[in-house]
Amino acid sequence: MVDKKKTARQTAFAVLEKVFSEGAYSNIALNQALLEASLSSVDKRLVTEIVYGTVARKMTLEWYLSHVVEDREKLDSWLYILLLMSLYQLQYLDKIPTHAVVNEAVELSKARKKGSEKFVNAVLRRLLRDGVADIASIKRKNKRYSIQYSLPVWLVKVIIEEYGEKRALAIFESLFLRNKASVRVADLSRKEELKQLLQAEDSLLAPSALVKNHGHFAGHALFEEGVITIQDESSQLVAPTLDLQGDEKVLDACSAPGGKTMHIASYLTTGQVTALDLYDHKLTLIEENAQRLGLADRVITKKLDARRVFETFGVDAFDKILVDAPCSGIGLIRRKPDIKYNKKMQILSRCKKFS
């Protein structure tokens, strides 16, 4: 639970700890924090910028810090994360006064562990005084691009080999651009009303979507009330293709985090959708969303490997089956920047077997 009295930076810090120390999804952890925190729209934008920016540029920030922090392994993980997010603000957010960044970092560290504030202050003051190391000094090209664009070396090599260096660099740059924030409107008869209320625009891709080029939807009362739900525009194109009549039994074989499951359930009246996943915490997330959207009576969750479906269910158990098969996830880096740190070269080889 996020403390509603937390400042923007305290909230961002809490989210980054969940992402880096607990393996939480950056987008889900951020949306949950914004939903629970009592912050102004300006502060919510700052939280979003700090979280996504720090995650997106993590390798770059780590390289910069390696020149001023001698032994990272001796640092508490929370302290290192605090330095990462503070350096991101100093290096990339020109409109934020440096003294505000340093002062709050000092206060955050002091509250966490007395005495640590001296170290935090010294590191940040040194970075302000001397500047960061020059990435251009890295001799090996792929390593230089890896640090500059915060991408694993193997991924840099793969993209350059596939697209050529010029186009690859354009792709690398594009990964730092912010995606539009998008939601699905639960009741389309209210879409025009909600568009005005949320100061949003119609999606050019999905009839059920509203989008914002700047800002976000998380934390709005309409989200808590189940009137809107966070879902990517392209994801909203899937459920309509099933041509659901309302009474079907549907299987969502690879369901987490549940956006498509909820969309399918919204088309059902007497039917049900069974959502599978391998992990309890992901199924819990689906169940919570079903409750929030008023769809719990149409959603069943089950912990099961989709490859073992026919050992559990009969051959005719479902009228329609959706298999959004796991892929490399590389195409989602802009929206979920933490993905790039959790993937290995082998994932591409495995995915090619099914392409």
pLDDT reading at 345 higher than 70: no
Closest listed residue to residue 268, CA positions, set 306, 226, 239, 292? 239
Query: pLDDT tens, 113-140?
Result: 999 999 999 999 999 999 999 999 999 9
Predicted structure pTM score: 0.72
Asked if residue 27 belongs to a domain, the reply is yes
pLDDT in tens, 273-312: 999 999 999 999 999 999 999 999 999 999 999 989 989 9
**Residue 47, domain member (yes or no):** yes
Contacts of 162 (CB under 8 A, 6+ apart): 168
- What residue type is assigned to position 62 of the chain? E
Q: 169-177: long-range contacts at Cβ-Cβ below 8 A with a sequence spacing of 24 or more? A: 169/145, 172/145, 172/148, 173/149, 174/334, 175/56, 175/149, 175/151, 175/333, 175/334, 175/337, 176/56, 176/57, 176/149, 177/334
CATH number, domain at 78? 1.10.940.10
The answer to the question of residue 326 being in a domain is: no
Task: Judge whether 256 is annotated as a binding position.
Answer: yes
The answer to the question of whether 115 is labelled as a binding residue is no
Residue 261 lies in a domain: no
- Nearest CA-CA partner of 35 in 58, 1, 62: 1
The widest CA-to-CA distance across the chain, in whole angstroms, is: 69
Phi then psi for 192, rounded to 5 degrees?
-65, -40
d(CA 184, CA 211): 9
Q: How many residues would you count in the chain?
A: 355
Distance of CA 10 to the CA centre of its chain: 18
How many domains, the chain? 1
Is residue 226 a known part of a binding site? no
The residue among 27 and 184 whose pLDDT is bigger is 184
Residue 31 has pLDDT above 70, yes or no: yes
| pLDDT higher than threshold 90 for residue 334 | no
Tell whether 164 is covered by a domain: no
The reply to whether 229 falls in a domain is no
Q: Is 305 annotated as a binding residue?
A: yes
Q: In terms of residue numbers, what domain contains 27?
A: 8-130
| Per-residue pLDDT at 302 | 97
163 contacts: CB under 8 Å, gap ≥ 6: 171
SS3 call for 140: coil
Residue 257 annotated as lining a ligand binding site: yes
Question: Is 254 annotated in some ligand binding site?
Answer: yes
Token output for 8: 């923007």
In a domain, 53, yes or no: yes
Q: Measuring CA to CA, which residue among 93, 90, 92, 71 is closest to residue 80?
A: 71
Q: What is the pLDDT of residues 46-86, one digit of tens each?
A: 999 999 999 999 999 999 999 999 888 899 999 999 999 99
The answer for residues whose C-beta is within 8 angstroms of residue 312's C-beta and 6 or more apart is 302, 304
Segment of 72-76, 217-221, 337-341 carrying the highest mean pLDDT = 72-76
DSSP state of 145: H
Is position 242 within any domain?
no
Percent of the chain's residues with pLDDT above 70? 93
For 150, left (φ over 0), alpha (ψ -120 to 50), or beta? left
pLDDT category, 1, cuts 50, 70, 90?
A: very low
